[in-house]
């Protein structure tokens, strides 16, 4: 059998990559400064200033991502963050890939990891709750019967574990599956392995289609 063909495809738009960078970096700073505010009173004031600065980047990135859910590329839109029934098998295989630490084969996908789609939705919900509670806490401590500092802490802890698992899984993807997920969020391109016979068939069909189209134009 011939070696597979590697196809480099632009998957993530520049706006989505910008949003991802702003949210990702802001979350790391917010988690660290939030921990300092709670655990180190001597550094709390300085940490709070940096916390608010990072929150501005988070809000910007989150607003961009929400806009892309409605006007972005097809696979960046909100409805594609809900797993389809056809993705259940891929979700199960991806779960086996994780629990085997990459020894089990991993299915392919085009954009979002199907197993992580519902997790992404929870993560976006967590970010929205954190923004609202963080903005409200300086003025009020109770909203709709909820004690805001406790709500803020709960969702921050949830976001911390999401961040740990997300970083770990992406590193595992690149190390064991060679899907270029890390570089894809920098340059927008993912690598896809295509069977050489299938690639030749696709190329032949493309040539035939172009030839037919050109014939129609010349008639």
User: 2 pLDDT exceeds 90?
Assistant: no
d(CA 12, CA 25): 18
Nearest 5°: the CA angle 187, 84, 177 is 40
Task: Provide the pLDDT for residue 172.
Answer: 87
Residue 123's contacts (CB-CB under 8 Å, 6 or more residues apart) are 159, 162, 166
d(CA 207, CA 200): 11
Task: Provide the pLDDT for residue 173.
Answer: 83
Mean pLDDT of 44-51: 92
Q: What confidence tens digit (pLDDT) does each residue in 71-121 have? A: 989 989 999 999 888 889 989 999 998 898 888 888 778 888 899 999 999
User: 219 pLDDT exceeds 80?
Assistant: no
Q: What confidence tens digit (pLDDT) does each residue in 154-184 have? A: 999 999 999 999 999 888 888 876 667 778 8
Task: Provide the pLDDT for residue 132.
Answer: 94
Percent of the residues in the chain that have a pLDDT greater than 90, as a whole number: 50
Q: What confidence tens digit (pLDDT) does each residue in 110-161 have? A: 888 899 999 999 999 999 999 999 999 988 888 888 899 999 999 999 999 9
User: 199 pLDDT exceeds 50?
Assistant: no
d(CA 60, CA 19): 8
Q: Where does the pLDDT of residue 186 fall: very low under 50, low under 70, confident under 90, or very high at 90 and above? A: confident
CB 15 within 8 A of CB 185: no
CB 1 within 8 A of CB 189: no
Mean pLDDT of 191-214: 47
Tokens 């963050």 found at:
81
Task: Provide the pLDDT for residue 218.
Answer: 42
């Amino acid at each position: 059998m011939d070696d597979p063909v590697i196809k480099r495809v632009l998957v993530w738009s520049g706006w989505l990559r910008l949003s991802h960078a702003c949210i990702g970096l802001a979350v790391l700073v917010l988690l660290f400064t939030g921990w300092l505010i709670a655990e180190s009173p001597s550094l709390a004031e300085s940490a709070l200033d940096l916390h608010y600065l990072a929150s501005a980047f988070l809000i910007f990135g989150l607003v961009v991502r929400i806009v892309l859910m409605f006007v972005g590329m097809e696979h960046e839109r909100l409805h594609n963050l809900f797993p389809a029934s056809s993705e259940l098998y891929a979700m199960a295989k991806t779960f086996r890939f994780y629990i085997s630490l990459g020894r089990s084969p991993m299915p392919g996908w085009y954009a979002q990891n199907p197993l992580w789609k519902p997790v992404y939705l929870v993560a976006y919900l967590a970010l929205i709750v954190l923004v609202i509670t963080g903005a409200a806490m300086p003025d009020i401590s109770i909203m709709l019967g909820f004690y805001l500092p406790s709500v803020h802490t709960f969702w921050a802890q949830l976001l911390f574990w999401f961040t740990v698992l997300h970083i770990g899984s992406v590193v595992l993807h690149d190390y064991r599956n060679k899907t270029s997920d890390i570089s894809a969020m920098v340059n927008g391109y993912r690598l896809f392995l295509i069977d050489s016979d299938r690639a030749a068939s696709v190329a032949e069909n493309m040539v035939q289609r172009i030839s037919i189209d050109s014939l129609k134009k010349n008639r």
